[in-house]
Amino acid sequence: MKIIMLGAPGAGKGTQAKLIAEKYGLPHVSTGDIFRANVKEGTQLGLEAKKYMDQGLLVPDELTVRILLDRVSRPDCSAGYVLDGFPRTIPQAQVLEKALAELGDQIDFAIDVDVPDENIVRRMGGRRACVTCGATYHMEHVPPRTEGICDTCGGELILREDDKPDTVKNRLKVYHEQTQPLIDFYQKKGVLRVVDGTMDMKDVFEAIVAILG
């Protein structure tokens, strides 16, 4: 079972990807993790990617897919995998589709965790992070015992730059321009499934399990 997770930043797709991987015994394949691992291990693919990363450039789609295919061709992915963070654009999806087709393979499900923008801005704006130990809280869902103070170490809790409303709105703008077209792409392929991401995390997961069977 080969699954792609779709959804805006802050929609919770990464959390759901981990839960799916755990339940079905599939590797959770995050492109960010793969890049870091290849660079750290000094693989040929990692060295190629590092040339672009060191210059602050995006790694070309073809190289990204080669690194991804190298990962999913390993024995632990023989029964499938959950892709998190790739593809992000139509060209990436097309390169991935072509590469998988050459292996006689294809994506089984593209799951879109759908959350309205205003919910995401509110959800991310409620996050707080400890400057000392990195523990995270949410003012509405997981508040600290004392406002502004970390339960674990007593450090100061802050709203990270990434979670500020203006930053979140910019990230959502980029998402709608670049990544949302993937929803139409996979809908045409007949593999798209949409779940309501505004529900409780457990309910979202149950909806996904009902889809996957």
Separation in Å, CA 177 to CA 88, 173, 174: 11, 6, 5
CA-to-CA separations, 72 to 19, 80, 102, in angstroms, rounded: 19, 8, 14
The mean of the pLDDT values for the chain is 91
CATH code of the region 2-127+171-212: 3.40.50.300
Question: Residue 20: its pLDDT value, please?
Answer: 97
Q: What local confidence, expressed as pLDDT, does residue 142 receive?
A: 92
Sort strands 109-114 and 2-6 into parallel, antiparallel or unpaired. Answer: parallel
Question: 62 versus 139: which is more confidently predicted?
Answer: 139
- pLDDT bin (cut points 50, 70, 90) of residue 103 is confident
What's the confidence (pLDDT) of residue 99? 86
89 contacts: CB under 8 Å, gap ≥ 6 = 61, 178, 179, 181, 182
Spatial separation of the C-alpha atoms in residues 14 and 34, rounded to whole Å: 15
Number of Cβ within a 10 Å radius of residue 120: 23
- 83 or 73, higher pLDDT: 83
Closest C-alpha among 50, 88, 46 to residue 66 = 46
Catalytic residues: 13, 88, 127, 160, 171
Q: Where along the chain do its domains lie?
A: 2-127+171-212
pLDDT confidence of residue 185: 96
Q: DSSP of the chain, one letter per residue?
A: -EEEEE--TTSSHHHHHHHHHHHHT--EEEHHHHHHHHHHHT-HHHHHHHHHHHTTPPPPHHHHHHHHHHHHTSGGGTT-EEEES---SHHHHHHHHHHHHHTT----EEEEEE--HHHHHHHHHTEEEETTT--EEETTTB--SBTTB-TTT-PBEE--GGGSHHHHHHHHHHIIIIITHHHHHHHHHT-EEEEETTS-HHHHHHHHHHHH-
| Token reading at 153 | 């170490």
What is the predicted pLDDT for the residue at 66? 86
Q: In the block, which residue shows the tokens 């409303």?
A: 165
pTM for this structure?
A: 0.81
139-180: pLDDT as tens digits: 988 999 999 999 999 999 999 988 999 999 988 998 888 888
Q: pLDDT (tens digit, 9 = 90+) per residue, 171-200?
A: 899 888 888 899 999 999 999 999 999 999
Above 80 in pLDDT, residue 57? Answer: no
